[in-house]
Structure 1
Amino acid sequence: MLFVRRVVGAALAVMLVSACTVQGVAGPAAPEPLPPRPREVRLDGVDPCSLLTEAQRAELGLDGRPVFSQAAVALYPGADVPACDIRGFEPRAVTTGISLVTTTGIERYTSAELAAELRPTNVQGFPALVAVPTRFTDYCTVVVDVAPGQLLDVQFATGGRQPSIPQPQLCRDAEAVADAVMTTLLGD
């Protein structure tokens, strides 16, 4: 999954640069400004693998062992990004990645064009965006504005079995994982 995360991060970085025009057609418009966050939740020093309890993982169909990694991600320059990847095997093959970004805020998504459709949402009262890739249909991302210059990045992807999971379902699952992670972060 670390390899997949690096490839997806690199693809999104390329999309940032190339999405402005494709054959003379403007890329997707940036969403409206997001509402203010209710408070700051700093991610510095938090272990991303501690953010989904065993019960939450079971409810989300994530029966694999959480795997911690820390690596550079082109989309979020400045420092290595701590991440936790968790697979699900039954009843379906899926994978989720939880990244704690402490060097880039949600403005990365609101100030640049991506080859993704951006839909505002809220997660546990915090402003968030669902980033639905337009060139790839095997994953979906939810980013949550938790503090100035920091964001929670949750990716949810198909695990490779056929038939593939429809992208709208992957987006709903990414939102569910982001909701569970924020519940843990907030101590609810």
Structure 2
Amino acid sequence: MRRAVPLLAALVLLAGCSRITGGSATAGDREPEPTRTTGAGSSEPTSPSKAPVDRPKKIDVAAVDPCATLTEAQRALFGATGEPRPGTATTYQSPTCNFSREDHRWGFRVTTVTTTGISWYTDGSFAVEPEHLEVGGFPAVLGRAPGDDEVCFLGVDVADGQMVDVQVSSFEDVPADELCRLAPQIAGAVVETIANK
């Protein structure tokens, strides 16, 4: 039996943090990044007729340290007992943090993105199959890259042109469905932490 199964049972408390509405940590320094499919700039397009986004509040992540987006207790809940490792997500040119697990079966990274919003998941800039979610009351998009069963992406709309991006990666044959169940739970914990700061 997979050792991750008891973890998923322990995460049931966080399951209420997200709902479907339609639609890295690194092992061996593996840091898969999203791949742009267009040459367009990374800024979110603006339009005077664009409807306002329905979110509980605006969270400016420009000054948020991604390594501080999870408390020690939250990290322990996800088995991320290793020291968080800060870095820069080259795709977004934004700060990121890798969270590692002792068992190295899977890991995750959190990026505080200030260069684009979640429309990047749906406007053709990112080659993923998007699925609309709600995480902690915030609009979100879950993305699976076709043909890649080792990673699941999730972006949470926290402010205009900004998002919290969570990437969950497998290092020991963790199924993609499991990675994509974990992503909203991790994102829900992140949103809970930064919304209360």
| Number of residues of Structure 1 aligned to a counterpart in Structure 2 | 160
Q: Is the 8 A contact 1:34 1:127 kept in 2?
A: no
CA RMSD of aligned residues (A): 2.3
Is 2:183 the partner of 1:174? yes
2:107 to 90, 95, 104: 95
Kindly state the Cα deviation for residue 112 of structure 1 after the two structures are TM-superposed.
1.7
**So what's the TM-score if we normalise by structure 1?**
0.77
Instruction: State the shift of 1:98 in Å.
Output: 0.3
| Higher RCO (Cα < 8 Å, 6 or more apart) | 2
Q: Which residue of 1 aligns with 2:75?
A: 57
Contact preservation (8 Å) 2:89, 2:111: no
For residues 142 and 127 of structure 2, the distance between their equivalents in structure 1, rounded to whole angstroms, comes to 13
| Deviation for aligned residue 1:71 | 4.7
1:57 to 1:40, Cα distance in 2 relative to 1, 3 A: same
Show the counterpart of 1:139. Answer: 151
How do 1:1-188 residues align onto structure 2 when only pairs under 5 Å count? 1=26, 4-5=30-31, 7-9=32-34, 12-13=35-36, 16-17=37-38, 36-73=54-91, 76=92, 80-90=93-103, 93-112=105-124, 114-158=126-170, 160-161=171-172, 164-187=173-196
SS of 1:82 mapped into structure 2: strand
Q: Of Structure 1 and Structure 2, which has the larger fraction of its residues in strand?
A: 1
Query: For each residue in 1:45-82, what CA deviation from the matched residue of structure 2 results, as whole angstroms up to 9, or x when unmatched?
Result: 11100111111011112121100112532xx3xxx310
Q: Distance in 1 between matches of 2:66 and 2:117?
A: 17
Cα deviation code 1:124-152 (max 9, x no counterpart) = 00000110111211010110000001011
Letter of the structure 2 residue corresponding to residue 142 of structure 1 = L
Determine helix, strand or coil for the equivalent of 1:61.
coil
TM, length-normalised to structure 2: 0.74
Alignment-mate amino acid for residue 185 of structure 1: I
Structure 2: stretches of 5+ with no match in the other structure: 1-25, 40-50
Aligned-residue sequence identity (percent) comes to 34
Quick check: 1:106–1:150 contact (8 Å CA) kept in 2?
yes
